[in-house]
Structures are given as structure tokens and as C-alpha cells.
Structure 1
Amino acid sequence: MSLQRRIFLMVVGLLLVVLLPTIAIFTLNTRNALFQQAKANGQLIAELLASSTGFIESIPVQAEAFISDQMVVQARIAAHLVAIAEAAGLSPDEINAHLRDIVNTTVLDEFWITDENGYAYLRSDPSIEFTFNPDPEIQPQAYIFWQLLSGAVDQVIQEAQVREVDDQTFKYVGVAGIDKPRIVQVGYNIGVLDILIDQVGLPNLVQRLINERSVSAIWIVDNNLNLLASDGISSPDIDINFDPSDRETVQQVLQTGESLQYTQDGFLHVVTPVINNEQIIGAVLVYVSLEGVQNAIQQALIFAVLLSLIAVGTGAIASQLLSRWISQPILHLSQAAEAIANGEWDYDIPLTRNDEVGTLARTFSAMSARIRDLINQFEERVADRTRDLQMATASSAQLVSELQLAYTVGRKITETYNMPDYQQRIMSVIAQSFDLYTVLLFEPDKDHKRLILRAAADRQGVSIMPEIFPEIDLDANSTVALAARMRETVAVNDVTKSNVYMPIDALPATSAEIAIPLVIGGELIGVLDLQSENVNVFDNNMLRFMENIAALVTLSIKNAHLKQHVSNAQAEIEVIRKNQAQFISQLSRDVRLPLYDLLDTTEIVADGFMGEITPEQAKSLHQVVDKGDELLSNLNEALGISRIVVDGLPLYVENINLRHSLEPIIAITRDLVKNRPIEIVVDMPESLPELYGDDRRIRQIFLGLLSNAAKFTEQGHITIQIEQQADKIHAVIQDTGRGISQEEQQQLFSMALVSQQEVKGASRALRLPLTRKFIEAHGGKIWLESTPGVGTTCHVTLLVATP
């Protein structure tokens, strides 16, 4: 072999020894660098998606939470507003009008306020009748608000959902009533959240990344491996079909919270956890294709071999240039991804290339600008909503303040009607509450020709009656007289420009005046005159407010008049009642004394002391005596009733042995029936507990009952049965007399007196009002059972004396 060949072979060998390791080392280094860059890019994309996922998913949640808080405030305000309005006496129509005005002028879309039964009698849409129901099958969406009526919760916040009736996305919030069980619900159309989700949601971001050649697939899952977004499609009902290695890797990342990478089947798999508020809520799986990396490695190898054949130096320089040409764009993209992940949405990627890397750079820039614009729009909308809510809150606060003032004044007015100087007190309350120069109250005289001043007060609530003229002609040219004639409010906001204002020397500072007629049931009962030192103070709101106050004054004055009428009528009735009782008592005394003399004389004649008489004459005279005794008994009863009416029923109470008290009464009864075939049966234990009462009245009770039984029983028996029942003594008096009809039983215990003609047609000669009064005065009861032609059973209960 020649030296030239050996040198050639040596050079060739040297070149081969130098080039082969160089090519191998260069190829290996290039491969590692490209893989590292691909991994870094995949990791940055995954981290960007993970960061964006937590941020994007939190936007609708935070927005809905913010809206929920504002709606709770609205519902609370509505609950207080309704409670105050109803306490102030506003009707449902008036309350509805105020609430609908709020709906029409604010962002609030609906309100539904119920009574204790769930019926929405206050609602934004009067055409819809709605009643809440606790059954979820009847009301799948609204049933949860029933808990507010039962008191289980004091507020319910329902997630935004599509309504069944019109497929609109609505959010409802309800709170419990303040003054009584009720549901106070407000509704808001938040379809804007759907638009926000569509524009900045995960599907849109995933679709943009999928359009790039380097990213082949993206999956975003939650902790339960439920799919949140994939290939631009979002559906919670689709399950992920991972390879076993993918599933194990995702589960490992969810458990450890650390990112993992691995290559499989020509793809780089990057798995990164999604962290929100330091909580792992899911994971992002990115498939980065390695086809471009492998092609780049092959091209670099061929290019290196060709250049090495020309010159090692040229190859080295070319390799260096190639390395820089490949790695520099990837470095810029990595920096851009890191800046966007840190929230620098205005970061500018310094690349103008038209290849895939340039397209990826432009996509990153467009995505960053779009997210920045959406965030700015969202912040503007939140600011607008906040401003609207603040305006609505301020308006509601003003209305609540007016209602509170009306309630306070109304309560003070209604509390004064039963006071002696209620009119002056009412004027003082109004003058002090509204800081008025003076407040006057006029009432018409009985002929309705003049208006008489009844009360007057200045802003300190001090009476100024002595300083004001006492009356005004109804035909006079004055604000007060005109309001009385027209039965309408007359307002003068500048007295210097009015031809109906009547100056009052004692009130020189009056600049504005309103006169409000006090009318109820078509009757004019007075005129309320309000005066101020300032012009144009009585605007429409003030007029309406003062007319409501005047209505309360009207009711208070009318109630005072009615109370006085009732008091006078009661006094007159009491005088009549006592006069009637005294008349009956006097009449009984005037008749009873002559009757005693007549009966004594008749009985002497009947017994033959005045001379011998025939048996028929004796019989007739004894009948006269019997009827006289009956008449005398009726007079005694009338006299007893009149004494009770006039003097009441005094009792001289002591412990009473009932058996000892009844023995003489039973003996008298036996004597009354000794000439008739009547058996007296007594069923009474040897020992009975003592009663606590008036012994004389107790004897009168049983004497009256037994004498009636003896008088109206011709034959048969009279049974007296006494027994103890717990803390009572139960007495039963049964006879076989004529009996009493149902109509007569209803009148038997009446306090009214009956004539002798009524007695003849009745089963009882005496009614028993005194007997019942005596029994009830001892805490007992009396009732009877009777059948005409069979007999009567009378029941009496009396309380046993306590030890």
C-alpha cells in the first residue's frame, strides 16, 4: 500500500474517528435538547391550562356568589319593607305598587312574597297566581323555599338554573318573613353567565390549543375523573377511556399534587394538577406529538453527515446555527407561556416567523388579549351592577325611613285617643315630628256653619290655643274653610301669592299652609291645618304623606267620639236598670203589707173565728189563702231579684253541715204533702263533708226546690238523694208531678218575672232565678230533666269545703 493511500486511509480513518463520535454525540445532544424543549413546552401548556382552569372555572362561581350575596340583601330589604308597610297599614295593592316600581327601575327582575300558607299575594307579575308547595314532584324547582315557612332555615339560595316555563336562566333567593311566617323571594335573570362561560370557558381555550400541530389532545378532569373539557367538547356525562398507564398517572397526580411526564407511542404525556384555593380540584392531561421532534433529529443527522464530509469546522458551525435556529423560538414561547401563567396578559412574543412556532406565538398573543378584554368587560359589568344595587339600596333606605317615621307618628296618634286631652296631644305629636311652625285642629259646630278651634301646637309641642282666634265661618275666604267645603286638601306653598290664605296675627311667620279635611263615612269631623315658615315645602310626596297622617288623626278622633258615646250609653243603661229594680222593690213592698193583712183576716174567717160558715165557704176561703200565699211567694221572689240587681248578692260564708241544714227543710216538705198520697224518700249518707257557704242561702235553695216539687205533685213520691262526687256534693230531687215542657224549661231560670196568668198555664208556679243565683254564687250548677205527665228531676252540685 502506498503512502498516499495510507495517508488517505489515515485521514479518512481520522475523519471517520472524529466525525462518527462527533455525529453520534451531536445527534444525542440534539435529541436530548429537543426532548427537553418539548417536555418544557408541554409542561408550560399543561400548567397554563391548569392555572386557566382554576381561574376560568372560578369566574362564573364567584360571579354567581357575588350576585347571590346581593340578592340576599335585596330579599332582606324586601322582607323588612313588607313588614313595615303592613304594620303601617298599607294595603297589598299599595305594597305591590312600591315593589313593582323597584323592579321596573332596578336590575331586579322578579319578587314573590307569600302569606303564612305559601300564597304569593305580593308579586311582580299580577297575571300569575302562584302558591308554593313542599312537594318536589309538584314543584321540582320551587319546593325548597317551603322550608322558610316551616322555620327550618331563614334563607335559601338556589343555584342558577333554566326555568321550566320559558327556558331562561334564572337565579332565585328567598328569606323568611320578619313579622310572620312567609316566603320573601327575589329572582334575577343571569343569562349573562352563560355568555361569559362560552367566551372564556375551557372548551374555547382547549379548542385553540388543539388547533396547533404540536398539541394532539387535551383532557381536563375533576377529582372523580369526570370530564370537564376535551378536544373543545365539554360534557359532564362523558367518561374518559384512559389507557391504564394514563389513568394510574392521573390518579397519582391527584393524590400527590405533583406534575408527571412520560412518552408513549410517539407522544409526550404531560399530567399537571389543577389547584384552586390550595385545593386540588382536578388534573390536565396534554398529548404533545413527538413526530416533529423526531423529524428534526433525522434532518439534523443527515445535515451533520453532509457537512462533516465537507469540513468539520463547517459542520460544527452549521450544527451550532441549526441548534440556535431550533431552540431560540422554543425559548421565546416558553418565556411567553410563563409570563401568561403569571397573569402578564400584555406580554409581547418577539417572533415574526410564519411556521408552526410563529402560529403558536400568535395564538398565545390572541388568547392573552381575548382573556384580558373579557376580564375588563366583566369588571365593567360588575361595577355597573354594583352601582345599580347601591342606588336601589339608597332608594329602599329612604322609603324605609319614611315608613318608620309614619309608623312612629301613627303609633303615637293612636295611643292618645283614650286620653282626656287627646286632641292637643295629637297636634303636639305632628308638630314635633315634622318640625312644623304650627298645627291646628278645627271641628265643625253642630249646625255645620262654623269651624271651632279645638287644639293648636307649635314645633315644641306647646299649646298656643289662647293666642289663636277661636272659630272660622264655613263660608269664609280661608284655606281651612275651603278645604271643609270642598272635602279636598288645599295646599298653599306661598301665602303671598294666594287669594284664599287668611292671615293670623298670632302666626306672622307663616309662609306655606295645607288644610286637610278629616272625613269618615261621608261625615266631616274636622280640618287639620299645617303651617310652615318656609315656602314650597309641601311637595307631592309631603302632601301624600300628610294625608296619610290625617287619616290616622281622623280614625283617632272618631274612636274617641265613639268611646264617649258608648260610655254615656252605658251610664244611662245602668241608671235605667237600677231605677227599674228599685221600682219593682218598692212595688213589692207596697203590695206585700196589705196582702199580709188580707191573708190573715181571710184565714181567721175561714177558721170560724168570725162566726160560723158553711163548709163550701170555708173551702173557698182556704183557696183564697193558698192563692194569696202563692202571690206573696212571687212578690218575695221579685223583691229578692231587685235586691240582687241593686245591691248584689252578699254571702256570709262558714262551714255548713248539710245534713243538719236539710232536716228541717225535709220536715216542712212532709208537712206540705201530709194530706196527699205522696211518699217522701230520703237517700242521704250519715256522714257528709261540710260545705263552705252561706247557710241561709243553702236552706233557701233546697226549700225552693222541695216546695215546688210538693206543690206540683198530686201523688206518687218525692225523692231526695245526696252523694259526694270528688270535691262536690251532688243533690238530686225527683218528683212524679206534672212535668215541664221544653219551652218552659228554657224560661224557667230567667230573671224575668211572670204574671199570674202565665203561672196558671205553666207547670211551675215559680221560676227559679234566685235559686240559680244562689247556687252559682257558691260555685255550683243546677240543671233539670223533665217529661210532661211523668215528673221532674232536678240536679244541684255544690263545692265541698277545703281543709
Structure 2
Amino acid sequence: MQDNSILHRIDFQETHSYLFSLLEKAQNIEDFCQCCYQLLSKYVKLDGFVIVNNYVNDVEKIKVIYRNSIEKDHTYLSNIYNLAKIHNQCINNNHLFLNFKDVNNQNNIDEYNEDNKDNINFLYIIPIDFKGKKIGSLLIDIESVKCSENQCHEIIKLLSKYLSIYLYQISMEEKEKSLEIEEQKLVKSKENQSKYLSHMNHELRTPISAIIGFAKMLQQQLYGELNPKQAQYVDAIHQSGKYLLDLVSDLLDISKIEARKEDLFIEKILITELCESCLALIKTKAEEQGLELKLKIDSDIQYCYVDQRRIKQVLLNLLSNAVKFTENGSITLEVKQDNNYLKFNIIDTGIGIKKESQAKLFQPFIQLTTHLHRQHRGTGLGLVISRELARLHGGDITLISEENEGSCFTLTLPLSN
């Protein structure tokens, strides 16, 4: 006579292998659960095999994932589920086995009347969880057992384990599909936004440019002299027009970058020429404020591979900000090599920035509230666009600053293409 423990081990190992292969082969959740039901039927005579999700949208509510008998109505399912709720230790802890034919177990089910028991003989309830997260419950209405009670318990617990893995896989796949759909919607939305802003950019540029042009002509008093009040109003019109034109341009830039529609034209650029041309554009304004401009480039650095127009835009934004917020002292543009990266440091002796305010600088439409920031109105998009352009190049913009001690904005770019 063969040893029962050996027979049990062989069955258990084969069941493990079968369920493991089922994780790959099952076409859908219905197929997987049906195979589990058929497997369990070898060991017990089943009157009900139900898998429920105890939480739907984070609310405790019954949702039947699978049931083996179509003729079992919702009342039957609710009865089983309510038993599981009454004995919630099966949900929160391990498992619950109720023997309705055992008078000693009657105390456990006194709360449930005879009608609700619905001729249940044995009820096995076991939670289905994965890595501590509750997924659902396996509720098994057993008419009779074909094997030992220990074997029955082991097989059911094994089924619960593999059900938890499969249900978790399914939930992750559904989440991935949902995220893909949402991502596609977002991309489409950004594309539409980019197209709309591009269209609006062209529609707005013409009238705004006309306003700026006419205001400039009035400032030059080509058609007669202006009194002081008129001159003041014309200056306001001119400044507001330029602000609107800058805002339109910035909105178009940020929308193109977010929609990944910004194409970079990478070319080999002489670093000295790039830096000198940027400093030349802010020189007049810096001299008016009595600021000293300095350029320091490591002797062994000559070229970089960038989109010249876009990187020049980034450097000009950082240098212009330095001029705006530095009342006296100097502004230094320093270029150094750090391993495989170039670092463009824009160092000023200006007002500096509080640590709690530094993160806000790289958020859209954010402007700080110092007296100098109030004097120099901007769109609040310059640094956002500059950082995104740096990241499109594979780099970044970072900040080191102390209040009243000046600031150092660093543009980091890959050394090679």
C-alpha cells in the first residue's frame, strides 16, 4: 500500500505546476476561474463556487467576479456574502470554515436564520489578497468532501494564492490599458491645444504688432507733438503691446514643448561666439544700471552641440533676469566642463531668492513679490520654457541662491551631440 503522504505530495506538486501554467495559458478571468472550479471538483462535491470583489471603487459592495452556477440567483450570492461580512475575521485575517451540520458550530451562525442559510452544508470563505492588498474573497459552498479535511484546506488555500496572482495581473493590465487610453487622450488634447494656440498666435500677432508699431510712431511724434499726459498713455500702450506679444510667443512655445512638437536643429556651435552674442544683447541695459559684465570660459572648451536659436533664448532669459534683479555689482557668465557635461553658470550679485520661493520659480505664471519683481512685469513663463528647452537637449537648469546674497542659475548641457 502506497504512503498517503507521498500521494498527497505528488497531487500537491502537480496542482502547483498546473496552476502556474494556467497563469500563462488562461485566455481570460472566466477561463481561469472555470479551470480552478474544475480542479477543485476533483476533491470536493461543490454546490457553489463564487469569487467576489469585496470593494468596488473603494466602497464595500458585492461584485461577483465569477460563479459556477447560472441558476444561483443574487439572493443566494448575497446570503453567502453576508455570512462573510458577519464573520469578518476571514476577510481581515486568515480564513473561515463553517460547518452548518455541526451543532457545536451553531453559535457562530446564530445571527443568520434558517431561510438565509439556503441549505448550505459547508461554507469555506478565504480572502484573496496580494502583497497585503485585499482583492476579494473566495466563497465555496461544499455539499460533501472527497478527500481529507487537511487536503481540502490546502487545495483551497492554494487556489486562493493563484487566484490572487491572476486577479492582480488582470487588475494591473486593466490599469495599464486605462493609463494608455488616458495618455492618448492627453497627447491628443495637447496636440489640439498646440494647433489652437498656433492658430491664435498668428491671428493675434498681426493686430498686436500693428498696435506696437502705431504706438512707436506716436512716441516718435512723427504726426505732431504729444503733451506729457498723452506721451504717458502712449508709453503704456507700447509697453502693454510688447507684453502681450511676449505672452503670445511664450504660450506658443510652452504648448509646442508640452505637445512634443518642438524640433531641435542641433549643430556645432563655437561657445565663445554664443556667449559673446548673448552678452552683447544685454550690454546696454547692464551699463545703464552700472553693472559689470564678465565672461569666463575654460580654455579647453571650444564647441557645443545645440540648437543655437533655442539655447541662445535660454541664456538670454537667464541673463536678462540677472540684469533685472541686480541693482549693483556684476553679472558673470561662466562656462565649465563637468565630466561629459557643460555648465553655463549665470552668477549675479542681486537680491537673491528665499529658499521657500525657489521651487515656485519653475512653475507657470508664478512671479515673486519683491519690489524689483513688481517693477519688472513678465509672463511668468520664461524660466519654465528655458528649463523645458534645456531638458529637450538632455540637460537641465538648477538654482543656488541666498536671500540678499545673489543667485547662480546653471544651465547644464551634454558635451557631445
Cα pair distance change 1:778/1:555, threshold 3 Å: same
Aligned residue for 1:156?
A: none
Distance, in Å, in 2 between the alignment partners of 1:568 and 1:762 is 50
1:733-752 equivalences under 5 Å are 733-750=346-363, 752=364
1:428 corresponds to 2:35: yes
Partner-residue secondary structure (3-state), 1:691: strand
Whole-angstrom distance in 1 between the partners of 2:415 and 2:136: 61
Q: Say if 1:524 and 1:728 are closer, same or farther in 2 by CA, change over 3 A.
A: closer
What is the deviation of 1:421? Answer: 0.9
Q: 1:679 aligns with which of 292, 310, 316?
A: 292
Counterpart pick for 2:168 among 534, 559, 565: 559
Q: Paired residue for 2:92? A: none
Q: Does 1:660 pair with 2:280?
A: no
> Shift of the alpha carbon at 1:703?
1.8
What secondary structure sits across from 1:783 in the alignment? Answer: strand
Task: Provide the secondary structure at the position in 2 that maps to 1:720.
Answer: strand
| Corresponding residue of 2:393 | 778
Q: 1:700 maps to what in 2?
A: 313
Deviation at 1:578, TM superposition (A): 6.0
Instruction: Deviation per CA, 1:598-627: give whole Å up to 9, x if none.
Output: 433433333324542134543553354335
Question: What per-residue deviation string (whole Å, max 9, x for no partner) do you get for residues 26-63 of structure 1?
Answer: xxxxxxxxxxxxxxxxxxxxxxxxxxxxxxxxxxxxxx
User: What amino acid is aligned across from residue 612 of structure 1 in structure 2?
Assistant: E
What letter corresponds to residue 294 of structure 2 in structure 1? V
Q: CA deviation at 1:707?
A: 2.0
Tell me the distance in 2 between the aligned counterparts of 1:471 and 1:697.
69
Residue 681 of structure 1: CA displacement?
2.5
The answer as to whether partners of 2:345 and 2:411 remain within 8 angstroms in 1 is: yes
**Correspondence for 2:75:** 475
More moved, 443-452 vs 605-614: 443-452
- Higher mean alpha-carbon deviation, 539-548 vs 394-403, is at 394-403
Q: Does 1:621 align with 2:234?
A: yes
Q: 2:135–2:164: 8 Å Cα contact kept in structure 1?
A: no
Q: Does 1:543 align with 2:129?
A: no
One-letter amino acid of the counterpart of residue 83, structure 2: M
Q: How many Å separate the matches in 2 of 1:720 and 1:622?
A: 32
Offset of residue 409 of structure 1: 5.0
Aligned residues: 373
* Counterpart-to-counterpart distance in 2, 1:528 and 1:702: 69
Q: 1:403 to 1:543 in 2, by over 3 A?
A: closer
Q: Answer yes or no: is 1:709 the counterpart of 2:309.
A: no
- Distance in 1, Cα, partners of 2:45 & 2:314: 68
Q: Distance in 2 between matches of 1:780 and 1:545?
A: 56
With structure 1 as the length reference, what TM-score do the two structures score? 0.39
Match for 1:791: what amino acid? G
Taking the aligned partners of 2:162 and 2:234, their CA distance within structure 1 comes to 74
Q: Deviations over 1:109-138 (max 9, x none)?
A: xxxxxxxxxxxxxxxxxxxxxxxxxxxxxx
Partner of 2:83: 486
CA–CA separation in structure 1 for the residues paired with 2:145 and 2:168: 34
CA distance in 2 between partners of 1:798 and 1:501 (Å): 74
Cα deviation digits, residues 323-355 of structure 1 (max 9, x gap): xxxxxxxxxxxxxxxxxxxxxxxxxxxxxxxxx
Map 1:264-303 onto structure 2 (within 5 A): none
Letter in 1 for 2:399: L
State the SS of the aligned residue for 2:362.
coil
8 Å CA contact 2:390–2:396 kept in 1: the answer is yes
Gaps of 5+ in 2: 85-95, 102-116
Q: Contact 1:658 / 1:690 at 8 angstroms: preserved in 2?
A: yes
Paired residues of 1:717 and 1:736 also in contact (CA < 8 A)? yes
Instruction: Provide the C-alpha distance between the structure 1 equivalents of 2:222 and 2:236, rounded to a whole number of angstroms.
Output: 17
Q: C-alpha distance in 2, partners of 1:565/1:738? A: 52
Secondary structure in 2 aligned to 1:730? strand
Aligned residue for 2:250? 637
Aligned residue for 2:383? 768
2:331 partner letter:
I
- Look at both structures and tell me which one has the larger radius of gyration over its CA atoms: 1
CA contact (8 A) 1:427 1:441 kept: no
CA contact (8 A) 1:431 1:438 kept: no
- Alpha-carbon distance in structure 1 between the residues aligned to 2:27 and 2:16: 23
| Residue aligning to 1:603 | 216
Distance 2:151 2:304 in 1: 71
**What amino acid is aligned across from residue 640 of structure 1 in structure 2?**
D
Q: Which residue of 2 aligns with 1:271?
A: none
Tell me, yes or no, if the aligned pair for 1:740 and 1:764 is still in contact at 8 Å: no
Letter in 2 for 1:424: D
Cα–Cα, structure 1 residues 436 and 539, in superposed 2: closer, same or farther, change >3 Å?
A: closer
Show CA shifts across 1:635-668 (max 9, x none): 4334323322222654333322223333432222
1:702 deviation in Å?
1.1
Alpha-carbon offset, residue 473 of structure 1 = 0.9
C-alpha separation between the residues in 2 aligned to 1:597 and 1:484? Answer: 73
| Shift in CA distance, 428/635, structure 1 to aligned 2, threshold 3 Å | same
**Distance across 1 between alignment mates of 2:373 and 2:159:** 64
Write out aligned runs for 1:66-145 (5 A).
none
TM-score, normalised to structure 2, is: 0.67
User: Structure 1: which 5+ residue stretches go unaligned?
Assistant: 1-390, 457-468, 494-498, 503-512
Amino acid at match of 1:783: T
Distance 2:63 2:297 in 1: 79
Separation in 1 of the partners of 2:316 and 2:7? 77
Higher relative contact order (CA 8 A, sep 6+): 2
CA apart distance, 1:684: 3.6
Are residue 728 (structure 1) and residue 337 (structure 2) matched? no
Change (3 A) 1:659 1:583: same
Distance in 2 between the 1:797 and 1:474 partners?
A: 64
Q: Specify whether residues 537 and 529 from structure 1 end up closer, same or farther in structure 2 by C-alpha distance, changes over 3 A only.
A: same
Match for residue 326 of structure 1? none
Residue 756 of structure 1, CA deviation: 9.4
SS at match of 2:274: helix
